[in-house]
Amino acid sequence: MSSVTVVSKQPPGGRCSLYLRYAETLHQALGMAFDVRYCDATAAVPPPAMLVGDVLVAPSDGVIVSPDDIARSLSDQLGGARADELRGLLEQTQERWMEEWSHA
């Protein structure tokens, strides 16, 4: 299974903290190792960003990586049913994060 890299600002802002939560969910659900790379906007891959293996997960809306984007990036490795399960877990992660973020 691939690893996940989160490219984040230090300290993490909104999207960076969401991507960190996604990585934790991938670790818990699939045992994927994850790494956090702290850098600024001058990096080759500027934050916020998420890579599965060495492939950038491109946000389909052009702004924020969604659970669907991540599940799609792993569908070849997981298969359709498992990718759908993962999407559901990531959606729960996103909802919890949005609830916490709105109260912060």
Mean pLDDT throughout 89-98? Answer: 97
Alpha-carbon span 89 to 19, nearest angstrom:
14
Alpha-carbon span 20 to 38, nearest angstrom:
12
Q: Helix, strand, or coil here: 59?
A: coil
Half-sphere exposure of 39 toward its Cβ, with a 13 Å CA cutoff? 16
pLDDT, tens digit (0-9, with 9 covering 90-100), for 61-83: 999 999 999 999 999 999 989 99
pLDDT at res. 92: 98
Mean pLDDT throughout 37-56? Answer: 94
pTM for the structure as a whole: 0.94
What's the gap between Cα 69 and its chain centre?
Answer: 9
Spatial CA neighbour of 18 closest among 69, 72, 75? 69
pLDDT, tens digit (0-9, with 9 covering 90-100), for 1-40: 689 999 999 999 999 999 999 999 999 999 999 999 999 9
